[in-house]
Amino acid sequence: MNANHKIGHGGDEDAFESSLIHSFSKHVKSYDKNAQLQKTMAERLAALLPPSLPDPVLEIGCGTGLFTRHLLARGAERLILNDIAPAMIEYLKEHMDLPQATQFLEGNAERLAFPQAGLIAANAVFQWFQQPQHTLETLHRSLPKGGQIVFSTFGPETLQEFRDSGGLEGPTHLLSLDNWKSLLTRCGFQWQAAERESREIFFPSTRHLIRNLQQIGAAPLRMMKAGELRRLIETHDRNFSTPQGVYTHWELYYFAAVKTDNA
């Protein structure tokens, strides 16, 4: 199998953005049921929030509200909620009791000009950024000196076995822990926490793994032909099956950083 196959459309930024919107919108109703890993990431990320949340809090990629509920539990009264998929925001509005002053900003976070915020948060989102340094610089400008950013994302070891089985190149930018720390410093942040977590998660089969990724909008394998997908499943089942099921490796990062200048 060709090493240039991508999970998703790839190509230019507009096609990539359209692919993300379509995929997340299509699976909005199945997201919460299948995003168990993202839920536990939200729980751990919440531990990095400051004791008292400043106003307003800007959440990038709010999705169905997995991390939003942690912000509300911490007493957030003014929220600015962003997501690339309008269907996600509509679902969140319908299923969560939000403060009256909540603002919504639909669109790609890499292309938006955000208002000033006291805190920026994002759970399992930054791996989608195509220009992470540029985006961090933009978010830096939305914070006052001393303002904080907290986020979780995935490291390069995530799904490595699965990607190797199919020669897949994902659309995500899975930077290393040190790369993220360097980016934060370069963009005017001083990182306060940079934590790594490694997990092995089991699925009954590779088909179940792919189904799970599709149900959270993360793997629209549309560019793969049926025969290629079948060979991927057979190869991964053969190489990574255990009596407990097919295992997959996930590398998770959690960051907290503070803006150190007035720029």
User: Is the CB of residue 254 less than 8 Å from the CB of residue 152?
Assistant: yes
**Total residues found in the chain within this entry:** 263
pTM of the model: 0.88
SS3 117: coil
Q: Which two tokens stand for residue 153?
A: 């994302």
Please state whether the peptide bond connecting residue 51 to the residue before it is cis, i.e. omega within 30 degrees of 0.
Answer: no
Give all domains of the chain, ordered by start, each with its CATH number.
5-158+169-200+247-259 (3.40.50.150)
Helices assigned H by DSSP within the chain: 13-26, 28-34, 36-46, 68-73, 86-95, 132-141, 160-166, 177-186, 206-215, 226-240
The predicted structure's pLDDT at residue 10: 41
**Geometric angle at alpha carbon 248, from 27 and 13, rounded to 5°:** 45
Q: What is the pLDDT along the chain (263 residues), one digit of tens a residue?
A: 223 333 333 446 777 788 778 778 887 888 888 889 999 999 999 999 999 999 999 999 999 999 999 999 999 999 999 999 999 999 999 999 999 999 999 999 999 999 999 999 999 999 999 999 999 999 999 999 999 999 999 999 998 888 788 776 655 678 999 999 999 999 999 999 999 999 999 999 999 998 888 878 765 444 556 677 888 889 889 988 889 999 889 999 999 999 998 76
| CA–CA dist 131, 87 (Å, integer) | 24
